[in-house]
Structure formats: structure tokens, C-alpha cells
Amino acid sequence: MRYLAPSLLSANFYNLENDLNILSKKNIKYLHLDVMDGMFVPNISIGIPVISSIKKNTKDTFILDTHLMIEKPERYIDNFKDAGADILTIHREISSDYLKVIDLIKDSGLKVGVSINPETDVNKIIDAIDKVDLILVMSVHPGFGGQQFIESSLEKIAFLNDLRNKNGYNYKIEVDGGIYVENVNKVINAGADIIVSGSGVFKGNISENIDRFMETFKE
Ligand code: DX5
Ligand code: ZN
């Protein structure tokens, strides 16, 4: 099963209700929420109050796929859980012991993901491969929407897909950054299950953009 996970970062923050209603009507399951702290990445975005408000007002419409681009994420696991996050994805590159943080998230009862930046070798997460529900391959440098897709991420997706097929692991493979209807085929063919798109969904007509993504998924 393949899923489109719209990234809220490119939504209209002045009228989120409108944008989220469209996603809901189009049966979008995963809503990708980018949390940035201005330390791990050079940008600041949304946080706990926004997630909490979305959960309260959309109930169980979406799986809140929360991408934590923050240092020391272990400080906030309970807060994100209380806000209604369903998946917490941390970065391999954080300064904390990432395996310990993965265990803490699992202990909290939430689903856990680990993400790697474009310059990080995929072998750096081998220790976590049987612990996580999701692996997020960054196909841009994290921090901003609207950047260009980095091709070398395709090899990482294919490697993770191969590894999963050979060993029967259950993790989902997610890819994030620079993905549009025009290039989504590449990540699908490499083996990605969850495709994040911000600009590709929210720029222009949201409903039409989603339809076009869905057509591609069928092929
Ligand atoms: C970047 C974020 C992405 C971003 C993707 O740091 O992790 O989720 O919103 O945006 P697009 O699809 O515009 O590259
Ligand atoms: Zn993201």
C-alpha cells in the first residue's frame, strides 16, 4: 500500500481548516507535521499547540506523522503524545543517543521512526532497523519546503527496500523533500511506501494535485 503524506508546512496557516477538509475529503491518511527548533535545522516551524489543535478538531481522521527536526527530542515525548501525535520520527544526526530515544518513544506507546539526512550513510541506522516502524529518507536538506530533490536518496530507498524483502522487516519507507507528481514515480519504483509532499500538494489546486498523485500510484 502506498500513501501520500501532505506536509503541513506548505499549507495555508491562515485557513488550515479549509486545507485539512480537502485532505480529509480525498481520504488522505498520513498528515506530515514538520517540527523545527532553529537548532537542529536553521528554521523554526510549528509545534505542540498546533498538533494538539489539529488532533482535537480532526479526531482520528489523520495519522499524525510527526517529523522532529529538533535537538534532544527525548525532552518532549510525553508532550507530543498528549498533543495527539501518532508517529514520532527522530533524526539519526541528533546529539542524543538515538537508540535510547527510540526506546523511550516505543515505551511511550507511540510509533517510532528514524530519519537520515542526505549526507548520512544508510548503514548508520542499521542498529535501529529491527526497532523502528518507519524509516524516513530525506531527499532534501531538512529545514525548508520547496527545495530540489536529491537523486542519491533513491539508492538509499532501494537498499532499505531490498533489506526489508530479504529479512522480513516490517518498517515502512518514507521519503521527504522535493517530490512532485512529475518525479514521484522514481521514489515509488525505488520502493517507498509513504511519500511526503508539501509544495507538490499545496501549491495550486490541492484537490487536483492529490488526484494526480493518486493516478500515479495506480500505475
Ligand atoms: C523539510 C521538511 C519537508 C518539507 C517538504 O525539512 O521535512 O517535509 O515540508 O516540502 P517539499 O515537498 O516542498 O519539498
Ligand atoms: Zn518532513
Tens digits of per-residue pLDDT, 172-191? 999 999 999 999 999 999 99
**Quick one: what percent of the chain has pLDDT higher than 70?**
100
**Which residue's CA is minimally distant from atom 6 of ligand 1?**
142
What separation in Å is there between the alpha carbon of 27 and the centre of ligand 1?
A: 21
Residue 50 phi, psi (nearest 5) = -70, -45
Quote the pLDDT of residue 207: 98
Helix (H, G, I), strand (E, B) or coil at 161: helix
Q: 76 vs 50, 142, 187, 194, CA distance in Å?
A: 15, 20, 32, 25
**Can you name the residues that pair with 42 across neighbouring β-strands?**
none
Alpha carbon 159 to chain centroid, angstroms: 19
Quote the pLDDT of residue 218: 86
Does residue 219 register a pLDDT over 80? no
Of the residues 19, 34, 65, 86, which is catalytic?
34
109-157 pLDDT per residue, tens: 999 999 999 999 999 999 999 999 999 999 999 999 999 999 999 999 9
Quote the pLDDT of residue 140: 98
Q: How confident is the model at residue 170 (pLDDT cuts 50, 70, 90)?
A: very high
Quote the pLDDT of residue 123: 98
Beta strands in the chain (DSSP E): 3-6, 30-36, 63-69, 87-91, 111-116, 134-138, 172-176, 194-197
Of the residues 19, 65, 86, 176, which is catalytic?
176
C-alpha cell, 215: 493516478
**Which residue's CA is minimally distant from atom 10 of ligand 1?**
145
- Residue 77 Cβ inside 6 Å of ligand 1? The answer reads no
Determine whether 97 is an active site residue: no
- Residue 146 Cβ inside 6 Å of ligand 1? The answer reads yes
Determine whether 107 is an active site residue: no
Closest Cα to residue 161, out of 151, 152, 170?
Answer: 170
What CATH number should be reported for the domain whose range is 3-218?
Answer: 3.20.20.70
**Can you name the residues that pair with 66 across neighbouring β-strands?**
33, 88
Residue with cell 509544495: 199
Does residue 201 register a pLDDT over 90? yes
Does residue 90 register a pLDDT over 90? yes
Residue 49 phi, psi (nearest 5) = -60, -35
What separation in Å is there between the alpha carbon of 167 and the centre of ligand 1?
A: 30
Cβ atoms of 67 and 86 within 8 Å: the answer is no
- Of 43, 138, 144, which is best to mutate to test ligand 1, by the most ligand atoms within 8 angstroms of its C-beta? 144
| DSSP classification of residue 37 | B
**Quick one: what percent of the chain has pLDDT higher than 90?**
99
- Residues with Cβ within 8 Å of 87's Cβ and at least 6 positions away in sequence, in order, are 63, 64, 65, 66, 110, 111, 112, 113, 133, 134
